Chains A and B, each alone.
Chain A
Amino acid sequence: MSPIALVDYGAGNLRSVENALRAVGAEVVVTRDPEVVGSADRIVVPGQGAMPACAEAMRNSGVAGALLASVERGAKLLGICVGLQILFERGVEAGGASGLGLIPGTIDRLPDTVKLPHIGWSPVRATAACHPLFRPLDGQYVYFAHSYAAPAGAEGTALLATHGRDYCAALARGNVFAVQFHPEKSQKVGLALLERFVRL
């Protein structure tokens, strides 16, 4: 098995994700090289910060194109937090931006009827069509840190969470997987998810 390509696009809590992947036994190469991303079997896109800046950094570096080509030929992708958000068509954060367009829909701000950012541990619940990768998380608490989220009805939604409204906490569509929460910071349940992804 070739190492997991962990995409470094300049922002993000890269080190935490790298540490967690290594802790579950994965080999990891931290990279911003489109060739490495383009030839990987497994790719992890971490994320922290604003979606527009992240999407732009990925496009400018050529990583976005390599990522899409890899997904096209069947590489397994896991997006985390902003790494989930950039898979969508659009985001409204910071004046708005286009994402990679792999999943239809828009990333919107959570309602201001609740405290934002949504920071802390909230339970997630499995949808009827939940992918086996995410099934064991049904009813578990995971760590979130965000103010924007994908719609609850997004294609492939596997887990739902609620903060002000229901939203997509995890999705699986073909070989594309993504989570709004931080598995690398969700202790045992998060590490177990990463381990399942590594072995998928």
Chain B
Amino acid sequence: MPARRIIPCLDVKDGRVVKGIHFENLRDAGDPVEQASRYDAQGADEICYLDIAATREARGTLIDLVERTAKCVFAPLTVGGGVRSEADMVALLRAGADKVSVNSAAVADPGLVDRLSAVAGAQALVVAIDVKRRPGPAPEWEVYVAGGTKPTGLEGVAWAREVARRGAGEILLTSMDRDGTRKGYDLELLRAVTGAVSIPVIASGGAGSLEDVAAGLEIADAALAASIFHDGERTVGEVKAFLAARGIEVRPC
């Protein structure tokens, strides 16, 4: 097993970092390249940009942002938001992204996962899955698309299994119930999905404390986190030192 990864995530919109709760009430949180460089210097294992506006018009801004980032950040960079075709993926990879994340377009056309995986290999393709709990006695999660605004009727664990079979290299799993709440990852969800697939799973949505990150990484391969880093509250080094003391293998910074 590789070391557990800590992945600071920057939600970007029109070339700026933004942060909200439950994907809403966005506020400006700074310059992406500056923040990505800071996380790189702190020893982040990977950096993730999610373009939450993801309009056609904003594509150029995103490509430019990836190019500028790749010139000064020498950690793996994952970029998602609005990826709809092989051409979108190639453009991001050629700009300097190492991995591309796809979400809504894969739900609309599951065959896209197979095709994107063929473009540059499974190791360059992340399928992002946003889910919300369904009320009921047994735990069940429904997949949402379009930045968490549109329910799909798809069941999350089954969808994870399908994208893995179709050639996804990793799953970026976000609990919409927890996103931005700082109440911790949905551990039951993480257990269900890691148990269903044999590709790495990245936990996302809800980490508010060091204990939360540790709990997530006892199940998932990597932890995506935003809130605990953005206001300079914790450094990547502090998070890793805490994890190492808990016996979780991390790469020393």
Q: Which residues of A contact B (CB under 8 A)?
A: 11, 13-16, 19-20, 23, 48-50, 112, 114-122, 141, 143-147, 163, 182, 184-187, 190-191
- Write out the residue numbers on chain A whose beta carbons fall within 8 Å of the beta carbon of B208: none
Query: Across the interface, do A119 and B40 meet the contact criterion of CB distance under 8 Å?
Result: no
Bound complex: CA A182 to CA B75 (Å): 10
Give CA–CA (A75, B35) in the complex, Å: 40
Q: Which of B94-116 contact A (CB under 8 A)?
A: 94-96, 98-99
Residues on A with C-beta less than 8 A from B3 are 120-122, 141
- On whether the beta carbons of A121 and B2 are closer than 8 Å, the reply is yes
A-B residue pairs in contact (CB < 8 Å), sample of 19: A13-B93, A13-B98, A15-B70, A15-B95, A20-B74, A49-B119, A50-B121, A112-B198, A117-B123, A119-B200, A120-B3, A143-B75, A144-B2, A163-B1, A163-B2, A182-B98, A185-B76, A185-B98, A191-B74
Chain B residues within CB distance 8 Å of chain A: 1-3, 5, 40, 43, 45, 67, 70-72, 74-76, 93-96, 98-99, 119-124, 169-170, 198-200, 221-222, 251-252
15 more A-B contacts (CB under 8 A) besides A115-B198, A163-B2? A19-B71, A48-B120, A117-B123, A119-B123, A119-B169, A120-B2, A120-B200, A145-B99, A146-B123, A147-B121, A182-B76, A182-B98, A185-B76, A187-B43, A190-B74
A11 surroundings in chain B (CB, below 8 A): 120
Is the pair B74, A117 in contact by a Cβ cutoff of 8 Å? no
Inter-subunit contact B222/A147 (CB<8 Å): no
With known contacts A115-B200, A121-B2, A143–B76 Cβ distance under 8 A: yes
Q: Is the interface of A mostly helix, strand, loop or mixed?
A: mixed
Which residues in B have their C-beta under 8 angstroms from that of A13?
Answer: 93, 96, 98, 124
Task: Name the B residues within 8 Å of A118 (CB-CB).
Answer: 2
User: B76: which A residues are within 8 A, CB to CB?
Assistant: 143, 145, 182, 185
Contacting pair B123 A14 (CB below 8 A): no
The CA of A146 and the CA of B76, in the complex, are separated in Å by: 14
B253: nearest residue on chain A (CB-CB)? Answer: A187
Cα(A115)–Cα(B4), bound, Å: 13
CB neighbours of A119 from chain B (8 A): 2, 123, 169-170, 200, 221
